[in-house]
Amino acid sequence: MKSILKLMVVLSVVAWPQVFCNDIQGGVGKEAIAAGEDKKRKKKKNKEAVSKEVTVLDRWELPDVLTEISGLEHLGGTRFACIQDEQGTIFIYNTASRQIEKEVPFAGAGDFEGIAVAGNTAWVVQSDGKLYEVNNFESAKPAVRSYTTTLTAGHDVEGLTYDKKEDRLLLAIKGREPGSSDYKGIYAFDTGTRKFAPDPVLKINLADPVFQGLKEKKRNSLMQPSEIEIHPQTGDIYVSEGASPKLLVMDADGQKKKLYTLDPDDFPQSEGLAFTPEGELFISNEGKGGKGTIVKVAID
């Protein structure tokens, strides 16, 4: 009997630390879970209120080579011209087949941010403001020329579109304007004369009331353009931001009309804009931990 009592005492002494440790680990695990949930709630609470006027109509996941898609242009039907950050190649993607139909190399490695198409010519811009003209870009041997501008890597050029009415390219900068944090400039390159205007033709005034209520503390961060596009029917100018997904709509004179806050779950990093001739809007997104995407949207 004494032997049995001794054995029970020994077993209880051995088991007690393990029970104590399990209680601690269980408590820590519960605290960690609670902390994680609290973090998620805070993140959701701190997220900008999403504009309900923007509705996702369709979505395409892109091949891995377009994970970092940085520019988008509609070519007609279900075909789009795409570029990505690091490779000097135009990718022709078809949303019907969900495949890349063609690849058009035009340069080596670089930081390519925007694409625009005028007729048979594709234009691509680097973040340092350098422009590439790719003539007959869908032919067997496209002719390529490049042009320097007065913009630099400090301007961080990300947006490019063709302004058919004025026969010019519009370039939007993401970075800081030298000597001013009050606006972001939109610059022009004349496709007829091949000349670049050193002063902005339009300005995104960051003190405009349309930006009131945003959570960014620094004025220069209120709008960081990632792309620019012109609505084919209204002539309005659309400017996207990828860092904190937004869509700004201005009239042709640069007057602000509306700012939409996009849902980061649908638009993790909105980098490209494209319109069909009928005014259908497509937004491309870099894949942040996932696939790059093209999303068709409707704005009420």
Q: Which two tokens stand for residue 118?
A: 């005028």
The pTM of the full predicted model, rounded to 2 decimals, is 0.84
Mean pLDDT for the stretch of residues 271-297: 97
Q: Is the pLDDT of residue 280 over 80?
A: yes
106-139 residues labelled b (16+ CB within 10 A) or e (exposed): bbeebbbbbbbbbeebbbbbbbbbbbbbbeebbe
pLDDT of residue 217: 78
pLDDT of residue 215: 82
pLDDT of residue 93: 98
Please report the sign of the dihedral spanned by the C-alpha atoms of residue 161, residue 166, residue 171, residue 176. Answer: negative
Looking at per-residue pLDDT, the higher value among 133 and 18 belongs to: 133
Q: Is the pLDDT of residue 161 over 80?
A: yes
CA-to-CA separations, 205 to 95, 156, 181, 212, in angstroms, rounded: 36, 18, 10, 12
Segment 51-81, tens digit of pLDDT = 999 999 999 999 999 999 999 999 999 999 9
Segment 27-52, tens digit of pLDDT = 444 444 444 444 444 444 445 689 99
Looking at per-residue pLDDT, the higher value among 5 and 178 belongs to: 178
CB 259 within 8 A of CB 210: yes
pLDDT of residue 47: 57
pLDDT of residue 234: 97
